[in-house]
Amino acid sequence: MVLSKKMEKALNDQINAEMYSSYLYLSMASDLNSKALDGFSNWMKTQAQEELYHAMKLYDFVLERGGSVTLDAIEAPQTEWENPLAIFQGAYKHELLVTRLINNLVDLAIKEKDHATNNFLQWYVKEQVEEEASADEIVQKLKLIGNQGNGIFMLDKEMGARIPLFTFPTDE
Ligand code: FEO
């Protein structure tokens, strides 16, 4: 069964949303770096890579199902935030939005009786549970730490240990 035009368009929109997520997190990573929080920045850069992976998984699925990918312009993300807490609250809020988008896609797949797409999307449904939890966990830790420099320093060190899916040329 080939993708319907409506489903194809919705999946294309989701590719754009995942690319935007990657842009947003790269922008957050840059701001964290300029705040001298290299570990937080590393975590966010790794998150940006994951978003790219989310987009590519959709990209491959659309092509596999006989559809085409039409790439749209990616919105420019915010560039500065007040503090790390505002950044991670922003990331958490963004993940809630992405979950809503994924749920809408599932609703459409069910409505169209497109079982293959529904089955494919379940990976994202599961992934969103983790995505929300990991951003929220950092929000909660930052709230607990407050303005204590030592706590921020320790958390920054911990977050610097997150391993990227692949290395950037500048990391080598
Ligand atoms: Fe692609 Fe963070 O959801």
pLDDT at residue 165 in the model: 74
One pLDDT digit (tens) per residue for the chain, 172 residues: 889 999 999 999 999 999 999 999 999 999 999 999 999 999 999 999 999 999 999 999 999 999 999 999 999 999 999 999 999 999 999 999 999 999 999 999 999 999 999 999 999 999 999 999 999 999 999 999 998 889 999 999 999 998 877 766 666 5
**98 touches ligand 1 (CB under 6 Å):** yes
With tokens 């830790």, the residue in question is 141
Q: Whose CA is nearest to atom 1 of ligand 1?
A: 51
Residue 163: the pLDDT is 86
Residue 150 Cα to ligand 1 middle (Å): 30
What element of type H or E holds 30? helix 5-34
CA angle 125–52–43, rounded 5-degree value: 90
Q: How far is the CA of 172 from the centre of ligand 1 (A)?
A: 26
CATH-assigned architecture of domain 5-159: Up-down Bundle (1.20)
H helical segments located in 35-165: 38-64, 84-111, 115-145, 149-159
**Residue 8 near ligand 1, beta carbon < 6 Å:** no
Atom from ligand 1 closest to the CA of residue 47: 2
28 alpha carbon, distance to own chain's centre: 12
How far is the centre of ligand 1, averaged over its atoms, from the C-alpha of 1 (Å)?
A: 27
Task: Delimit the domains of the chain by residue range.
Answer: 5-159
| Contact call for residues 127 and 106 (beta carbons, < 8 A) | no
Structure tokens at 49: 């890579």
pTM above 0.85, yes or no: yes
